[in-house]
Copies of this chain bind each other. A is one copy, B any other.
């Protein structure tokens, strides 16, 4: 069996139960922690400048999410991110709302500059703004970037050694060499808050399960798996939900019960050439 199928990555995450250190926003702390538990990882949230470096070093991944940014949180992210970089712990960064205010755009630019990121994930508008490829961000909603987004993502990924992910109607993942379009998911994922933030946390679990020293293409494979697993869980949850409230509960149930076969059977992963 191919150890790089999306389902195989899920099995690996469950076996390793990676500790993911989250510095995330006030809206989704509970949801992100539950998503990590449900997929089989171990979440920890820590924000104090006094401890984030220690926590980052013992974690298998650090997930940074800009959702309710303050100067204190930026400092915590920088300390944790630098400690993770020094210790070889992968860092996932989610520039929530980049483009909505100058403050967020600047913070996103500074953090992407200061830290070596293994994964940069946002919605298409945020990634478009951050990479100078167009896109509109209003509050935390965004609308599609221009046609040049995939090329801009590939160029950034190659230049920085970062897997870049833009999520939207379909999802784009690139490591600078390959580009994948992912077609799983369900509209109800857009009707609850924190689904993107939960995905960011889950990306931490998947890249936290990659063996140290692996090439970037292996991290990209883990990212394709994380997005696919999350979106397949969304599809399964939608089947038993009556609306966004019951969908949220069903999503945790689906993440918890998701099997390797579920994921591989339903995965709609397309490798595209530019």
Binding site for B on A (CB under 8 A): 19, 21, 25-31, 33-34, 37-38, 42-48, 50-51, 54-55, 58-59, 67-72, 97, 100-104, 138-141, 191-194, 240-246, 248-254, 256-257
Contacts and interface: CB of A to CB of B under 8 A. Distances in A.
A52 to B, nearest CB: 9
Given A25-B45, A47-B70, A55 B139 contact: yes
Among A44, A55, A104, find the residue whose CB has the most chain B CB atoms closer than 10 A.
A44
Contacts of A256: 191, 243-245
So how many copies of this chain end up in the complex? 3
Nearest to A22: B27
Contacts of A33: 27, 193-194
Nearest to A256: B243
A37 B198 CA distance: 17
A44 B244 contact: no
A71 B45 contact: no
B138 A192 contact: no
Given A30-B30, A249-B249, 20 more contacts: A19-B139, A26-B26, A26-B45, A30-B193, A33-B193, A34-B192, A37-B191, A38-B191, A42-B140, A44-B97, A44-B139, A44-B140, A46-B69, A47-B70, A48-B70, A48-B71, A59-B139, A242-B250, A243-B254, A244-B252
Contact of A45 (B31, B68, B246): B68
Contact of A34 (B69, B244, B250): B244
A139 B47 contact: no
Contacts of A242: 240, 250, 253, 257
Contacts of A254: 243
Contacts of A31: 30
Contact of A30 (B27, B37, B54): B27
Contacts of A46: 68-69, 97, 101
Contacts of A194: 30, 33
Given A44-B97, A70-B48, A37 B139 contact: no
A251 to B, nearest CB: 6
Nearest to A140: B44
Contacts of A240: 242
Contacts of A58: 100, 138-139
Contacts of A257: 242-243
8 contacts: A30-B30, A34-B244, A37-B244, A38-B244, A50-B71, A245-B248, A245-B249, A249-B249
